[in-house]
Amino acid sequence: EAQVTQNPRYLITVTGKKLTVTCSQNMNHEYMSWYRQDPGLGLRQIYYSMNVEVTDKGDVPEGYKVSRKEKRNFPLILESPSPNQTSLYFCASSRSAGGTYEQYFGPGTRLTVT
């Protein structure tokens, strides 16, 4: 089954404790992205990657890091989480060729930083 997976689905942590949210896709997509969803703001892009070792900032990159060492994986790293990073996070992937630009989303990770 074609899918994007994320782990963990739920995470409660404390301010300053480094964490990583994993994302993996099995569709051989070139593009991968991270979004955060906040009430009244919709989804906003944090970072994206066009292929292995190629990443760039989205609209709200402060406080986040990413890496793309393999095509299928795109982890999101919060090196020193703060309460304003409490949010619902989605990973997404899309193809570059044949361009419908449709993005396929993972199930989401709900992060609470206390």
Rule CB under 8 A: say whether 86 interacts with other proteins.
no
Rule CB under 8 A: say whether 8 interacts with other proteins.
no
Q: Where are the beta strands (DSSP E) in the chain?
A: 4-7, 10-13, 19-25, 31-38, 42-51, 54-57, 65-66, 76-78, 87-94, 104-105, 109-113
Q: Which residue has the tokens 């999101």?
A: 76
Token digits for 73?
A: 């994986």
**Angle made by CA atoms 63, 66, 71, in degrees to the nearest 5:** 165
Rule CB under 8 A: say whether 27 interacts with other proteins.
no
Rule CB under 8 A: say whether 114 interacts with other proteins.
no
Q: How far is the CB of 4 from other proteins (least distance, A)?
A: 9
Task: Give the x-and-dash track for 44-63 against other proteins (CB under 8 A).
Answer: xx--x-x-----x-x-----
- Binding segment for other proteins among 20-28, 64-72, 76-84, 86-94 (CB under 8 A)? 86-94
Rule CB under 8 A: say whether 73 interacts with other proteins.
no
CA proximity to 89, closest of 64, 114, 69, 52 = 64
In the complex, which residues of this chain contact other proteins (CB under 8 A)? 30-31, 33, 35, 40-45, 48, 50, 56, 58, 90, 92, 94-96, 99-103, 105-108
